[in-house]
């Protein structure tokens, strides 16, 4: 079933919607770091030690991320092959948004960012728990987070990446519903939700990064 064009489109949409759910959950936990160190540590400790999260949800998430990116590249290659001879003149902006035509570019930026993000947080976490078997410390998460935002270059990279994430969401969110066959009286509401989510969540992540950077500097 995954071999047909519609199946690929639906698979892309479902994996994208799953990642959007994860993004919302990730943001909800991260924003607590601005208000309460204790709450952030408690939630992070729960996510990092709950067996359901660690051994079932985390592998599903990693699979979802990898699947979404591989399918994105597969679609890009197939679509490029569908038109061998390009136009001399092609006014894409007259009928579609730049971001809808360049999801692969924003996707590559997000993929690069994920590499840095995994290097910053996921790899040290795995190392802490499953390689060095260090003692369980429920209060370490906030300090680790703040420490990472000390570097202005890292903060800048994070901020730029979230701008691209916002652009990616701006097309991808509502587009996913279209792909799974939903275009009805709720479509305008979904488009509104798409714009709200695509602005609120990335701006929120940027705020968190700058907030902790300024706190450390001060």
3-state helix, strand, coil in the chain (%, to 5): 80, 0, 20
- In this chain, which stretch among 23-31, 52-60, 105-113, 180-188 interacts with other proteins, using CB under 8 A? 180-188
Q: How far is CA 178 from CA 34, 36, 78, 182, 201, in A?
A: 36, 39, 20, 5, 22
Question: Which of residues 89 and 218 has its CB atom nearest to other proteins in the complex?
Answer: 89
94 in contact with other proteins (CB under 8 A): yes
Written as six digits, the tokens of 179 are 């792909």
- In this chain, which stretch among 29-37, 59-67, 116-124, 174-182 interacts with other proteins, using CB under 8 A? 174-182
- In this chain, which stretch among 55-63, 76-84, 161-169, 189-197 interacts with other proteins, using CB under 8 A? 76-84
Instruction: Show contacts with other proteins in window 97-126 (CB under 8 A).
Output: 97, 100-101, 103
Q: With CB under 8 A, what is the number of residues at the site for other proteins?
A: 39
Question: Which of residues 85 and 218 has its CB atom nearest to other proteins in the complex?
Answer: 85
Nearest approach in angstroms of CB 168 to other proteins is 12
Sign of torsion over alpha carbons 124, 129, 133, 139: positive
Rounded CA separation 10/178 (Å): 9
Rounded CA separation 162/23 (Å): 12
Rounded CA separation 147/149 (Å): 5
Rounded CA separation 125/194 (Å): 32
Nearest approach in angstroms of CB 121 to other proteins is 31
Site pattern 127..166 for other proteins (x: CB under 8 A) = ----------------------------------------
Selected from 89, 130, 135, 217, the binder of other proteins by CB under 8 A is: 89
Question: Which of residues 14 and 31 has its CB atom nearest to other proteins in the complex?
Answer: 14
Site pattern 181..200 for other proteins (x: CB under 8 A) = xxxx----------------
Rounded CA separation 78/5 (Å): 10
Cα first-last separation, the chain: 56
User: Are the beta carbons of 170 and 198 closer than 8 angstroms?
Assistant: yes
CA dihedral 185, 187, 192, 196 (to 10 degrees): 130
- In this chain, which stretch among 35-43, 96-104, 125-133, 155-163 interacts with other proteins, using CB under 8 A? 96-104
- In the complex, which residues of this chain contact other proteins (CB under 8 A)? 1, 4-10, 75, 78-79, 81-92, 94-97, 100-101, 103, 171, 175, 178-184
């Amino acid at each position: 079933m995954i071999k047909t064009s519609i199946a690929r489109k639906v698979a892309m949409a479902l994996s994208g919607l799953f990642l959007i759910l994860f993004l919302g959950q990730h943001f909800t936990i991260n924003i607590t770091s601005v208000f309460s160190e204790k709450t952030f540590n408690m939630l992070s400790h729960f996510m990092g030690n709950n067996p359901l999260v660690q051994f079932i949800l985390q592998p599903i998430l990693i699979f979802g991320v990898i699947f979404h990116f591989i399918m994105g590249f597969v679609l890009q290659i197939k679509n490029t092959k569908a038109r061998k001879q390009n136009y001399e003149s092609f006014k894409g902006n007259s009928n579609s948004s730049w971001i809808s035509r360049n999801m692969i570019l924003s996707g590559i930026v997000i993929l690069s960012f994920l590499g840095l993000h995994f290097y910053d947080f996921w790899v040290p976490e795995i190392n802490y728990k499953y390689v060095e078997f260090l003692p369980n410390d429920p209060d370490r998460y906030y300090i680790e987070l703040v420490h990472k935002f000390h570097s202005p270059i890292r903060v800048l990279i994070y901020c730029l990446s979230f701008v691209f994430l916002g652009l990616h969401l701006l097309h991808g969110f509502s587009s996913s519903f279209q792909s799974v066959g939903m275009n009805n009286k709720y479509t305008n509401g979904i488009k509104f939700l798409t714009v709200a989510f695509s602005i609120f969540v990335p701006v929120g992540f940027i705020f968190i990064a700058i907030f902790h950077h300024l706190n450390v500097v001060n």
